[in-house]
Amino acid sequence: MSNLLKSTPYRLSQISPEEIREYLIYEVGEKAQHKIYNQLVDLKESYPEFDKWFHNTVYPELTASPEQREIIIVISTLEKKKVLTGIAILKKTSTERKICTIRIHEHFRGKGIGTMLFEECFSFLGTRLPVITISENREADFVKHINKFGFIKTQSLKGLYKPECIEFIYNGAIDT
């Protein structure tokens, strides 16, 4: 990992204004929710209902039930500037422990941030083998971590989120 890059994960349900204040200074005029959404907006290509899910499910559940829904962000310091380099959206219920979304900023891949973020996900979810779904067009992005953490492909579903697209399910099953 570069000496210039220092990364820290935060759970949004537990973060205090002092911890994120410095980051928000760089994001003047834009709410944190929109900043996080903008880092993930390209997921609409693979998940057509992403907008609705993010705004109408994730954030309301995070506010109402932080023990069941969490967003973990990684803020990295690079040459005294704060940068959002990783995001994970998690769901933890009595019947499901799932990494819904995980993303590392493309310019910061290969620096250990993905491993750090997965470890934080495992900690929140209370398992090292959570359910995760990965679309066929993004599976190559996850091969390193799939192998590293021993994830097991358990289902392949065509059209789960987008017609004609195969979604691979690891470490569990999705009812259709």
For residue 150, the model assigns a pLDDT of 97
At CA 166, angle to CA 165 and CA 168, rounded to 5?
145
The two three-digit tokens of residue 25, written as one number: 């200074």
- pLDDT category, 59, cuts 50, 70, 90? confident
How many structural domains compose the chain?
1
CA distance 72 to 75: 10
Establish if 77 belongs to a structural domain. Answer: yes
Contacts of 162 (CB under 8 A, 6+ apart): 46, 47, 48, 135
DSSP 40: H
> Residue 66 is part of a domain; what is its CATH number?
3.40.630
96 to 54, 73, 92, 100, 121: CA distances (angstroms): 18, 21, 6, 11, 14
Burial label for 165, CB within 10 Å (0-12, 13-18, 19+), is middle
pTM of the model: 0.81
CA 71 vs. chain centroid, Å, equals 7
For residue 114, the model assigns a pLDDT of 95
Establish if 21 belongs to a structural domain. Answer: yes
Establish if 25 belongs to a structural domain. Answer: yes
Establish if 42 belongs to a structural domain. Answer: yes
Pairing of strands 97-104, 131-135: parallel
Residue with tokens 């579903």: 157
- Is residue 1's pLDDT more than 50? no
Establish if 143 belongs to a structural domain. Answer: no
Rounded mean pLDDT of the chain? Answer: 86
β-partners of residue 76 are 7, 83
In which domain, by residue range, is 71 found? Answer: 5-132
Establish if 39 belongs to a structural domain. Answer: yes
Establish if 144 belongs to a structural domain. Answer: no
Tell me the average pLDDT across 68-97: 90
